[in-house]
Structure formats: structure tokens, C-alpha cells
Chain A
Amino acid sequence: MDSDLILYIVVATALAFDFTNGFHDTANVVATSISTRAMSPRIAVSFAAILNFIGAFISLEVAAAVAKGIVEPGVVTTTVIFGGLIGAIAWNLITWYFGLPSSSSHALIGGVAGASFAAGGADALVAGGEGLLSKVVVPAVIAPTLAFMVAGIAILIIYRIVGGLRPGPVNRGFRLGQIVSGGMLALAHGTNDAQKTMGVITLALVANGNLSSEGFHVPDWVVISAATAIAAGTWVGGWRIIRTMGSRIHKMDTAQGFAAQGAGATVILAASHVGFPLSTTHTISGAVMGSGAAKRLSAVRWGIAGNIFVAWVLTLPAAAGIGAAIYGFTRLFGTGAAGPVIVGIMAIIASAMLFARRASRGPAIAEEAT
């Protein structure tokens, strides 16, 4: 009875995380379209929400990697997963408070890995942490770098092709192109990010004995609920981070927006295809910087880019630390449902206080920085 109650709390928390993921991350996906006025904010966000929902049904490779490739399904418990989820949400809220586009994906994986490590030591991680290194850390370094280079080369080729033409038709052409490239980016985001929540819920179902740890199967209700949660979060929108991504790194023209979205989408889709749970935030940040730096290095506001870089480096270890601490705190109340219930209520109160404080203080620090 207690274990089922913890499972319900974990599923609700995972879906809440998925919602915040949409709220927090997907803003990055639409920011370039909004910045170049290819779409109005409301249309861009609605378009992204629909394509995120569709994208969640495309593949299950990333869900499999999260459920089986990072922590040992046979070792972790639902309480461990709960600790990891709260750790990830806490880190997401902290970075949201400061207006930093950090990675929800790395927060989730870091939180779950940290709580698992606190519960079972290195044995709780696949091959003592090698899974985390090969499936998360290495792709985390490669993806933004690759997106930076692809976007940079793409924009140089674009300028070479359309450089001597009248700007009016060219801008209209790339604005239209951004509808496709922005759509592909939203689809890619739904594919990669919604699957992480599916993977965590599947892991919780295995931990609770509802699913076998042999083989891999994501129940349909998990896919549908994760897709709905991320789409709903997207639709509500993370307007604070839209501003940072859309115009604070550098002012983009329509061709740069198209190149950045195209590069980001292809890197995320290629990574999803092989099952790498990438950070869409880092990838699109890399692409946005690449499209700016290729035109002129000084076009990029490196101070803002530096803030993003710091959040990028800190996310995994910080979320892991918070996840481990929350698991430890939850265990103070025993192995039953009391710990997750108390910590869950405390998390809701803390989140409400953070929202209220943010609302009373006005713009985020990243917005004030320029």
C-alpha cells in the first residue's frame, strides 16, 4: 500500500517535472522564431506545443537509455527516484529564478543519479558510472560544440549564397523557412525530452514491481501522459527564458535563426536516433552562438553566454548533490510513504514562495544584465 502511494507520488512528480521541462526548456526552441519575428510569440508557442506532443511518440530510444543505461533498475527504489526528481525540480527552479537556460534533462539525470548513488553507492549506477559518462557526459560536451560548428558553417554558406541579394525577399524567405526549421526543432525537443520522463516513470514502475526489469517496455499511458505534460508546459511558456535566448545572446537576422534552428534540430534528432539523452537547451544555445560568432565574434554577448556555460557545467553535479540530499532527508522519515509526502508538501510550499518572491522582484538577473 505504502509502495503504491510512493509510486503515485513519483508519477505525479515526474509529470510535474515534465510540465516544468516544457515550461523551462521549450521556450528555447521557439525563441529564435520569435526573435526574428518569423512567428508571433503565442503562435510560436502553440505550434511548438503541438509538435512537442507529436514528437513524444516518434521514438523510445532515449527512454530506454534513461531507464536502463544510467542507473541499475534492480537497485533503485521509488523513494530514490522521488529524491532525484525533487532534486531536478529544485535545480530547475533555481535556474529559472535567475533566468538561466540550464538543462532540465541534465537536472533530471543528475538528480536521479545522485539519489541512486546516495542510496546504493557506485553499484546503483550502471557499470559504476560508465553509463552516465558515455550516454550523458560525452554527448553533453559534443552536442553543443557540434551545433555551434554546424550552425556556423551553415550561416557562412547561406551568406555566400544570398549575400548580394535584396534583403526584403531574402528575409521573407528565411522567415518562411523558420516555420519548418522551428517545427523540426520542436519535434526534436518533444522526441528527446518527453522520453526522459517516460524513462524515469518506467524505471519507477520497474522499481515498484509493476514491470519486469527484463526487456524494455513503456506502457502507452506513460507515453501519452508524458507527451501531454510537456506539451502543456510548452503552451504555458517560459517567457523569461525566451527573452534571454531570443535576443540577449546576440541579435539574430532571419538567416541566422534558420541556421541555428536547422543545426539544433538535426543534432538533436541524430542524437535521439542513437539514444543519447541530450540537453536541447545546450544544443540550441550552441547553435545560436555558432550562428552569431560565424558572422562576427563580437556579435555574441559573451557575458550572457558565460552565464549559460556556468549553468551548463554546474547542472549535473548540482542536481546530483540536491537529489542525494533530498533522498537522505526523505529517508529520515523511514522507508514508507511519510518521507515522500512530507518532502512533497515542503517542495510545493518552497516552489510557491520562490514564485511569489520572483514575482515581487521583477525581471530576472539575466534580463537585467544587458
Chain B
Amino acid sequence: MRVLASIVEWDKVLDVIVNSSVAGIGVTAAYAICVFGTTRVIDMTKAGRIPEAALYGALATVMLVVTLASAVFGVIVMTTK
């Protein structure tokens, strides 16, 4: 067991666990909020509640930007090592 502990590159393993957990859960949550905002925009617009629709639209846009920016950031991190 001690031999295994000394062989494994724990710093890299931890890197993978932390980065993929934060990115994987964070980005999917951000995109889910984007979908939530977009759906609410449709519902609010149909109900004639334009101010609320605008707010949900802004939320959806911000979350879409966060999602796409995270994807681009991931690729940049990969290519600049």
C-alpha cells in the first residue's frame, strides 16, 4: 500500500479530480440555468410580462456566455501548456 502511495502522482490525480469536478458540474449547471432562463422568457413573453421576460433573457444570455467561455477557456488551457 505504501509502495502504491509513493508511485502514484497524487498531485496530478488531484488536479484531474478538482478541475473536472468544478468544470463538469459548474458548466452543466450554468447551461441548465441558461435553459431555465430561455424557457421562462418564452412563458413570460406569452403572458405579456415583458419586464420579467427581459430579466430572464439577461440571465440566460449571461449563462450562455459563461458556458461558451468555459469551453473556450478549457481549450486555451490545453493548448498553452
Contact B4 A133, beta carbon cutoff 8 Å: yes
Q: CA of A174 to CA of B74 in the docked complex: distance in angstroms?
A: 20
Contact A150 B7, beta carbon cutoff 8 Å: no
Q: A59-B81, A166-B39 are in contact. Are A266 and B23 (CB under 8 A)?
A: yes
Binary flags per residue of A120-141, CB closer than 8 Å to B gives 1, else 0 = 0000000100100111001100
Contact A142 B28, beta carbon cutoff 8 Å: no
Q: A130-B7, A266-B19 are in contact. Are A150 and B25 (CB under 8 A)?
A: yes
- Taking CB atoms, residues of chain B closer than 8 Å to A180 are 67-68, 71
- Grouping DSSP codes into helix (H, G, I), strand (E, B) and loop, the A interface class, with mixed when no group exceeds half, is helix
Binary flags per residue of B28-58, CB closer than 8 Å to A gives 1, else 0 = 1101111110111011000000000000000
Q: For window 40-59 of chain A, which residues contact chain B by CB distance below 8 Å?
A: 58-59
- Taking CB atoms, residues of chain B closer than 8 Å to A143 are 16
| Interface residue tally on A, bucketed by range | 35 or more
Contact B16 A271, beta carbon cutoff 8 Å: yes
Which 6 A-B pairs give the minimum distances between C-beta atoms?
A173-B35, A266-B24, A150-B24, A154-B28, A274-B12, A270-B20
Binary flags per residue of A151-184, CB closer than 8 Å to B gives 1, else 0 = 1011101100110011001100110010010001
What are 17 A-to-B residue pairs whose CB atoms are below 8 Å? A134-B7, A135-B9, A139-B13, A142-B16, A146-B20, A150-B20, A154-B28, A158-B28, A162-B32, A173-B35, A180-B68, A269-B20, A269-B78, A270-B23, A273-B15, A273-B19, A275-B12
Contact B39 A169, beta carbon cutoff 8 Å: yes
Q: A157-B32, A259-B28, A274-B15 are in contact. Are A269 and B74 (CB under 8 A)?
A: yes
Residue of B nearest to A272 (CB): B78
Contact A154 B24, beta carbon cutoff 8 Å: yes
Contact B39 A162, beta carbon cutoff 8 Å: yes
Interface residues of A (CB under 8 A from B): 58-59, 61, 127, 130, 133-135, 138-139, 142-143, 146-147, 149-151, 153-155, 157-158, 161-162, 165-166, 169-170, 173-174, 177, 180, 184, 187, 191, 255, 258-259, 262-263, 265-267, 269-276
- Chain B contributes a number of interface residues (CB within 8 A of A) equal to 38
Q: CA of A239 to CA of B19 in the docked complex: distance in angstroms?
A: 32
Q: CA of A173 to CA of B33 in the docked complex: distance in angstroms?
A: 11
Q: A153-B25, A274-B12 are in contact. Are A162 and B36 (CB under 8 A)?
A: yes
Q: A180-B71, A266-B24 are in contact. Are A191 and B78 (CB under 8 A)?
A: yes
Contact A162 B35, beta carbon cutoff 8 Å: yes
Contact A146 B39, beta carbon cutoff 8 Å: no
User: How far does the Cβ of A272 sit from chain B's closest Cβ, in whole Å?
Assistant: 7
- Grouping DSSP codes into helix (H, G, I), strand (E, B) and loop, the B interface class, with mixed when no group exceeds half, is helix
Residue of A nearest to B60 (CB): A173
In the complex, besides A166-B39, A173-B34, A187-B75, 12 extra interface pairs with C-beta distance below 8 angstroms are: A142-B13, A154-B28, A157-B25, A157-B32, A166-B43, A255-B32, A262-B24, A263-B20, A265-B24, A270-B16, A271-B16, A274-B12
- Taking CB atoms, residues of chain A closer than 8 Å to B35 are 161-162, 169-170, 173-174, 177
User: How far does the Cβ of A208 sit from chain B's closest Cβ, in whole Å?
Assistant: 29
User: How far does the Cβ of A65 sit from chain B's closest Cβ, in whole Å?
Assistant: 10
- Taking CB atoms, residues of chain B closer than 8 Å to A146 are 16-17, 20-21
Q: CA of A134 to CA of B9 in the docked complex: distance in angstroms?
A: 7
- Taking CB atoms, residues of chain A closer than 8 Å to B23 are 266, 270
Contact A276 B24, beta carbon cutoff 8 Å: no
- Taking CB atoms, residues of chain A closer than 8 Å to B15 are 270, 273-274
User: How far does the Cβ of A351 sit from chain B's closest Cβ, in whole Å?
Assistant: 34
Q: A146-B17, A157-B25, A173-B38 are in contact. Are A266 and B32 (CB under 8 A)?
A: no
- Taking CB atoms, residues of chain A closer than 8 Å to B16 are 139, 142-143, 146, 267, 270-271, 273-274, 276
- Taking CB atoms, residues of chain B closer than 8 Å to A265 are 24
- Taking CB atoms, residues of chain B closer than 8 Å to A142 are 13, 16-17
- Taking CB atoms, residues of chain B closer than 8 Å to A262 are 24, 27-28, 31
User: How far does the Cβ of A353 sit from chain B's closest Cβ, in whole Å?
Assistant: 41
